[in-house]
Structure 1
Amino acid sequence: MGIEKDTVEIWNIYGSHQLARRLELPELDRWDWGIPDTEPGIEAIGEVAGLRVLDLGSGLGRHAARLAALGAEVTAVDASQAQHQRALARYPDTAGLHLVCADAVAHLQEAAPYDLIYSIGGVPYVDPHRLLPAVANGLAPGGRLVFSALHTNSYGTGPSTAVVPRPEVLRLPGTDDYHSVYMWVLEPQQWKNLLAQYGLAVEAVTAIDSPQENQSVSYRLYSARRPERGAGPPRGPRPVGGDDASRAGSAFD
């Protein structure tokens, strides 16, 4: 978990920077999965009223707050203490919204099953061989996982064909200060194989490309489901190692 711990520290730097800026971002007027002004939006999640929902890598918490306002019982988990503090300051007492600072896997191992787990760009920061079995076990039978993942970075570097992390670039908003963070930027087939390996049935993979012609950054949106009872339990993890070099760029809260 050394790479992941380093990543959390970078997000602490990011969160502290945003706290110091005191920038008041508006509430969401439109939902996106990593690139503004792109489809699909919130409809990719479907009806959430009455569901137990988990937001992985929730950051400022605007997306989680939106779902809570729609009637979901939402737990928003972020491993960064600084990002968690930003969310607490913004949503100190919001009905249906529970803010948690924790490692995603540790939380999933302790929490009751969720009907829906989603993540906007956060899944690739965690070793999929550690995260996905916890997600599969953390979903109620028939529950869904919906997440977006970086596919091509802003430098035009496409996804890796091997399940290994590589360095990408995280810029502090309003500055020219860049930090290197490791991510699992994988081909769609690799994500589909991983999801299937841990007992999740892939339902859809949707391309999300930048609407600007001079921007190469793109994401993929993955939707998968834990089978209903009787299909057998999700399978356990196996080790992963190695790395590759590249660069990226993406926008976060």
Structure 2
Amino acid sequence: MSGMYQEIMAFVLTTSGWILESSTVSMDFWKVSSNDGSVITTSTFWANLWKHCVTDSTGISNCRDFPSMLALDGYIQACRGLMIAAICLGLFGSVLALVGMKCTKIGGSDKNKARIACFAGVDFILCGICSLSACSLYAHRITTEFFDPMFMSQKYELGAALFIGWAGGILCILGGSVFCFSVADSFSRSHSQANYIYRGAASHSHITAYTRGQTKPVKEGHAADNSSSSRVQHFDKNAYV
């Protein structure tokens, strides 16, 4: 029963992380212009994986989509690929988790469901790694430009989308690990139970059952001793009579 509760908790963690990762892809604020060293700020620049935008002091935003995918910087293309891979892996992991959980009625035998749940855990771990890698790569580019004294263009700060992506990746990794550990515990318990049953059967195999009135077979020497002793006992009884 505890394994079922662990799988439910892992499913909640992984599904929440996958939802956070999916929302991160379409969020606006992956990076926001830095106000460090400026006294008066008339506009705010921000960008994500798909467009550049600027917001003036009146709150009006103007955005421009990236004109060419092939002309983009390499780190933006890598982040796009990693986040799309994370979303796909999370989707497949959710389906496998629903099939492999003990509380569902699909998936076949318990052994097959345990294997499917293990695959779902590995899938979610890869999903979290992809999200963490994408957000970390984007954040590394921002921090490198910010602390580079020779970089004279607009500098940016870390946006809120990066922190949400990190949170989603961590939740997916934690939930996937719980899936794997719960499956490992169930396999170890089943193995220990089978070993106990085997040992119990082996110990009971040395005990021979005899029906009422049936004597245990003995060797010839012991049979002769028993017959002589029975005669002596019979003679003693007759002597008292």
TM-score by length of 2: 0.24
- Bigger share in helix: 2
TM-score by length of 1: 0.23
Larger RCO: 1 or 2 (CA < 8 Å, sep 6+):
2
